[in-house]
Amino acid sequence: MKIKPLGDRVLVKVLPPEEKTKGGLFLPQTAQEKTQEGLVEAIGESDQIKLKVGDKVIYDKYAGTQLKIEEEEYLILKNTDILAVVEK
Amino acid sequence: MKIKPLGDRVLVKVLPPEEKTKGGLFLPQTAQEKTQEGLVEAIGESDQIKLKVGDKVIYDKYAGTQLKIEEEEYLILKNTDILAVVEK
Amino acid sequence: MKIKPLGDRVLVKVLPPEEKTKGGLFLPQTAQEKTQEGLVEAIGESDQIKLKVGDKVIYDKYAGTQLKIEEEEYLILKNTDILAVVEK
Amino acid sequence: MKIKPLGDRVLVKVLPPEEKTKGGLFLPQTAQEKTQEGLVEAIGESDQIKLKVGDKVIYDKYAGTQLKIEEEEYLILKNTDILAVVEK
Amino acid sequence: MKIKPLGDRVLVKVLPPEEKTKGGLFLPQTAQEKTQEGLVEAIGESDQIKLKVGDKVIYDKYAGTQLKIEEEEYLILKNTDILAVVEK
Amino acid sequence: MKIKPLGDRVLVKVLPPEEKTKGGLFLPQTAQEKTQEGLVEAIGESDQIKLKVGDKVIYDKYAGTQLKIEEEEYLILKNTDILAVVEK
Amino acid sequence: MKIKPLGDRVLVKVLPPEEKTKGGLFLPQTAQEKTQEGLVEAIGESDQIKLKVGDKVIYDKYAGTQLKIEEEEYLILKNTDILAVVEK
């Protein structure tokens, strides 16, 4: 099954939150950490979208619509709900 | 009876949610799974609509206006409330 | 008395909900069935209106302003509040 | 005293609701009958206004700002809050 | 002290409500009489303003920002919050 | 430390409310007196701003964001939240 | 890890509030002091952004989305949520 987002929407695969710090300790999550990371899986046809498939992105946890495909969690987000790209 | 949606609206036939996983187990539905699938039955006259009759689409469960035609469930949705097309 | 809607408004005569199914059974109405049918009686001067007098239309029950003329129920609706045309 | 409405506003003299039916019976008013009739007394300078002084109009009871001039009730309404013209 | 309103704003001196009817009786004020009269004292630089200093105007009681200058009551109103001019 | 407001914003130094009347009596402040005076200290780069540094202005008490610099109270206001200039 | 903000967004490193006054006394923070300082770390591609990396900025405490990178606190803010630049 392949999902094609419409318009200015982007399909993002949700990445599990990294719960360990560099030194290996568990980092408690606070209500203040409202962001979440994901991978761009597919993009809509709008030329407003400056992302490409494979980009690692940061988005607001409370944006978008959740979707489960073959037991994996995805989000359909508006392009403008994606805050930043994480560069390697 | 034939329904012709107006403007940027789309008539979608509601598909029953697939409740089984691939392995045949029942998948409990959570409040987080807010999407629903349907089939495009008719489209309005707006050239903003990039869908065609027969497309399988994903939309937000809480969008649109419900309609019952000859015991079948339909929705009249705005084009922009349809999130994605499911390609085969 | 003749009512001429202004701008992008449409005067619609409310049709009684059909409460029988094809087989002659009564169909209980649920809160989910939010639509209502009516007949277009008069239209405003806006060229955005793609309807004509006599069209049978579907609209959201909670849209528009109710009006009683000679014991008949009417609604003055904005053109954009009419969801679809029912073709014969 | 003469009142000149500004911009896209219209001064309307409130007409008492007709409480008798054609056959002479009193018609109980329900919460659903939200419209009210009036006569256009003066109009603002906007060319968006398609009304003329003397027109009998229907407007939503809850729109506009009430005004009492020499014991008569008036409303200053936006042109777009007038729903329809009643033609004779 | 001279007050110069900015943009599309107008400085209006609040007139006391006339509480007597023509025949000299006191007219009880009801919650429905939401308008108030005033005199235009100064206007902003916007050419959207069709008023001039000295105009007697009607405005909504609940619009604008109150201001007391040398014990007199004034209002700074947006041009669009002034409903009508009272002509003599 | 110098603060440069961005865009259509203006930095205003809050002036203490004059609590005495001309005759030297204390004037009780009521909830209705919602305005406050200040001095323009710096302006953003937008050419929509018709103010200059040193102008005495009236603004709504509840607009803007408060800022304390070296024990003095300032506000960063949008240009459009400033109601009027007080001329000497 | 490098974060690239999208569109009109700006990545800001949160600066700890200065809690001492010049004379060395602790300054109690009140609810009225709603601003916070930060350093611009990265900017989006929009030419509406008049900031550069390294600028010290003032923003509203309640704007933006919080982000923790390697134990440091950051914010992703819209360009228009940044109130002023602090010049040295």
Enumerate chain B positions whose Cβ falls within 8 A of a Cβ in A: 21-22, 32-35, 50-51, 58, 60, 80, 82-88
- The more confident residue out of B13 and A30 is B13
Q: Is residue G62 part of a domain?
A: yes
CB contacts of F63 in chain G (<8 Å) are none
CA distance D69 to D42: 14
Q: What is the pairing mode between strands F65-69 and F72-78? A: antiparallel
* Number of domains within chain F: 1
Residues G27-78 have pLDDT tens digits of 445 434 567 899 999 999 999 999 999 999 999 888 899 888 888 899 999 9
Residues D41-79 have pLDDT tens digits of 999 999 999 999 999 999 988 889 988 888 889 999 999
Query: Quick check: D26 pLDDT over 60?
Result: no
What domain range includes position B42?
Answer: 9-16+30-86
By Cβ distance, the residue of A58, A60, A80 closest to G3 is A58
Which of A37, E30, B67 lies closest to D68, judged by CA? E30
Q: Is residue F24 part of a domain?
A: no
Residues E21-79 have pLDDT tens digits of 555 444 445 434 567 899 999 999 999 999 999 999 999 888 899 888 888 899 999 99
Judged by CB atoms closer than 8 Å, whether chains meet at A33 and G3 is answered as no
Residues B26-49 have pLDDT tens digits of 444 543 456 789 999 999 999 999
Which of A54, A68, A62 lies closest to A83, judged by CA? A62
pTM assigned to the model: 0.81
Query: Quick check: B78 pLDDT over 60?
Result: yes
By Cβ distance, the residue of E34, E80, E87 closest to D4 is E87
Chains E and F: 3 or more CB pairs within 8 Å of each other: yes
- The more confident residue out of G13 and E69 is G13
CATH number reported for the structural domain that contains residue C45 in this entry: 2.30.33.40
CA distance E82 to E79: 6
Question: Which mean pLDDT values do the consecutive 10-residue runs of chain C (88 residues) have?
Answer: 93 80 49 74 95 95 86 93 92
Three-state DSSP class for residue D80: helix
B66-72, long-range: CB within 8 Å, 24+ apart, which pairs?
B66/C32, B66/C33, B66/C34, B66/C35, B67/B3, B67/B11, B67/C33, B67/C35, B67/C58, B68/C27, B68/C33, B69/B1, B69/B3, B70/B1, B70/C22, B71/C21, B72/B13, B72/B14
Mutate which: G14, G40, G49, G65, vs A, most A CBs within 10 A: G65
Identity of the residue numbered G62: Y
- The residue in chain C having the minimum alpha-carbon distance to the alpha carbon of residue D59 is C65
Q: Is residue C24 part of a domain?
A: no
Strand partners, A14: A38
Judged by CB atoms closer than 8 Å, whether chains meet at C4 and D87 is answered as yes
HSE-CB of C46 using CA atoms within 13 angstroms:
16
**Residue F22 CB contacts under 8 Å (≥ 6 apart), including other chains:** E70
Enumerate chain F positions whose Cβ falls within 8 A of a Cβ in G: 1-7, 9, 11, 45, 65-68, 70-71, 76
Mean pLDDT computed over every residue of chain B: 84
Judged by CB atoms closer than 8 Å, whether chains meet at F71 and G34 is answered as no
Q: What is the pairing mode between strands C9-14 and E2-5? A: unpaired
Q: Is residue E1 part of a domain?
A: no
CA distance B81 to D23: 50
ipTM value = 0.78
Judged by CB atoms closer than 8 Å, whether chains meet at C87 and B11 is answered as no
State what percent of residues in chain A have pLDDT above 90.
Answer: 59
Model pLDDT, residue B27: 47
Of F4-13, F75-84, G1-10, G67-76, the poorest mean pLDDT is in G67-76
- The residue in chain A having the minimum alpha-carbon distance to the alpha carbon of residue B86 is A3
Q: Is residue D1 part of a domain?
A: no
Which of F31, A48, C83, C4 lies closest to G45, judged by CA? A48
Q: Is residue G72 part of a domain?
A: yes
For E51, the token pair is 């008023």
Judged by CB atoms closer than 8 Å, whether chains meet at G50 and F11 is answered as no
Cα–Cα distances in angstroms (integers) from residue D56 to residues D40, D87, D88, in the given order: 6, 7, 9
Q: Is residue D21 part of a domain?
A: no
Model pLDDT, residue B30: 46
Q: Is residue B34 part of a domain?
A: yes
- The residue in chain C having the minimum alpha-carbon distance to the alpha carbon of residue D84 is C5
Which of G48, G50, G86, G42 lies closest to G67, judged by CA? G42
CA distance B32 to A65: 9
CB B61 within 8 A of CB B14: no
Judged by CB atoms closer than 8 Å, whether chains meet at G85 and F4 is answered as yes
- The residue in chain E having the minimum alpha-carbon distance to the alpha carbon of residue F85 is E4
Model pLDDT, residue D33: 57
Identity of the residue numbered B41: E
Nearest CA distance, B18 vs chain C (angstrom): 21
Query: Quick check: B84 pLDDT over 50?
Result: yes
Nearest CA distance, B25 vs chain A (angstrom): 12
Query: Quick check: B23 pLDDT over 60?
Result: no
Task: Let me know the angle formed at the C-alpha of C72 by C70 and C77, rounded to the nearest 5 degrees.
Answer: 115
- The more confident residue out of A21 and C16 is C16
By Cβ distance, the residue of A1, A3, A6 closest to B82 is A6
For D24, the token pair is 């002479």
CB contacts of G87 in chain F (<8 Å) are 1-4
Model pLDDT, residue D19: 54
By Cβ distance, the residue of D4, D5, D65 closest to E34 is D65
Residues F2-57 have pLDDT tens digits of 999 999 999 999 998 765 455 544 444 543 456 789 999 999 999 999 999 999 99
Mutate which: D1, D2, D3, D6, vs E, most E CBs within 10 A: D6
**Residue D32 banded pLDDT, cuts 50, 70, 90:** very low
Identity of the residue numbered B57: V
Residues A36-87 have pLDDT tens digits of 899 999 999 999 999 999 999 999 888 899 888 888 899 999 999 999 999 8
Nearest CA distance, F25 vs chain G (angstrom): 30
In this prediction, residues G19-30 reach a mean pLDDT of 49
Model pLDDT, residue B69: 83
Nearest CA distance, F71 vs chain E (angstrom): 28
Q: What is the dihedral sign for C-alpha B22, B27, B33, B34?
A: positive
